Each structure stands twice: as C-alpha cells, then as structure tokens.
Amino acid sequence: MKKLIAIVLLAVSAVSASAQMMTSRTLMKRENPTTWYVRAGMSVNMLSGLNSDDKDYGLTTGSKAGFEVDFGFHKPMGKSGAYWGMELGFANRGGSISEVDGYDDEYKYSLNAWSLKYSPFTFGYKYSITDDLKIDGHLGAFALVDLSRKAKVDGDEVDADEIFSNRFDAGLQVGVGVWYKKINLDLTYQHGFVGFVESPNSTLKCSALMIRLGYAF
C-alpha cells in the first residue's frame, strides 16, 4: 500500500511539473512572439562616389523615384525589446547622370534596375512609449541581384550592358520606425558597396532613402 501511494504521489508530481513547464512555455511564446510583416513604399534612389576629376569633366548625378516591397520577420531577443530579423523583397535602384562636353552639349542618362533583395540579418530595438506605441531603431545588411535593367540617353533607350557595371550589390541599411499596434511607418537609408556604373574616373555606387508603410500579422 505504501508503495502504491508513493507511485501515485510521484505520478501526480510528474503531471504537475509537466503542466507547469507547458504553461511556462506557452506564456513565453505569448510574451515573445515572432512578428511577421509586409512593408511597401517609395524610395529616392541616388548615385554617389563622383570624384573631383569627373566633376571638373562636367559630370553630375541626380536622384530618381523608386519603390520597395518587403516581407520579413522580427524575433525577440529576451524581454528587453531587442530583436533580430530577416527580409526578402523586390525593389529598384538607379539614378541619373548629366554630362556636359567641351562644346557645352549636355547628355542626360537615366538608369534603372529592378532587383530581388535579401536582408540576411537585421538587429533592432523597440522602445515602448505605451503598450501600443513603440519606436523601432534598426541596423542590418542586404544583398541584391538585378533581374532587369534599363538605360536611356536623352530619352532614347540604349544597351544597358554598355552602361552598367554589376548586377550584384551588397551593403548596409540603417533606419528608424514607429509601430502603433500592428501598423508600422519606417524610414531607412541604404548604401551599397559595389560599383553600379563606371565613369572615366569614378565608381558610382547606389544608395536610397526609403519610406515604407508596414503591417504585422
């Protein structure tokens, strides 16, 4: 009888401990859920890296409007508000170049590329103003490949392979956003490290300022 009572007490203790562990894990999942989201918005695409020799030669760069659409997630790191995440999206990049030759004739280049973009990691921190309102600062890396490219000179399309240098790019992006419940407004600056266009004396690289609206689900 004592052995039976001991076995029953041991079984009850095991069930109770298992229930507590399941409850604890459930609470942890509820407190630290992975946030999945979509973002879409516009970008101001620019070319940078023009040196003084090219400027003296008569080259200048300008910006072009673009877009970006992303799908990603944020995974909490503990309970402090810190997180890490990934993104996969579709975007375009490019810019404009103006060239004035020795006869004061001006040529205008319009450069656009449509790219598949992947961010392998982003680290950020969400600072809670209230339970529903959070400030989100983040820093991450990205890599992309151009799926399609187009180049125009004075409005006429030309062979893009004669203008563009690389189909690939990689770099960093830093931004800040605001979350209100499941709605997100985000402002991010992105800078690539790989040459996009080779001018006579410069290697021009792509950068972009993006403003996107997101929704978490």
- For the chain, the domains span 1-31, 33-216
Mean pLDDT across the stretch 18-24?
A: 43
Tell me the one-letter amino acid at 207. S
Q: Provide the pLDDT for residue 58.
A: 85
Residue holding tokens 């180049």?
Answer: 151
Pick the CATH number of 33-216 from 2.60.40, 2.40.160, 3.30.1380, 2.40.30: 2.40.160
Report residue 158: phi and psi, to 5°: -125, 175
> Cβ distance 71 to 92 under 8 Å?
no
Q: Provide the pLDDT for residue 32.
A: 60
Q: Work out the angle at residue 157's Cα, subtended by the Cα atoms of residues 155 and 163, and round it to the nearest 5 degrees.
A: 110
Q: Provide the pLDDT for residue 31.
A: 57
CA distance 176 to 191: 15
Whether 4 shows a pLDDT value over 90: the answer reads no
Question: Does the pTM exceed 0.85?
Answer: no
Q: Please state, for a pLDDT cut of 70, what percent of the chain lies above it.
A: 85
CA distance 206 to 114: 13
Q: Provide the pLDDT for residue 79.
A: 87
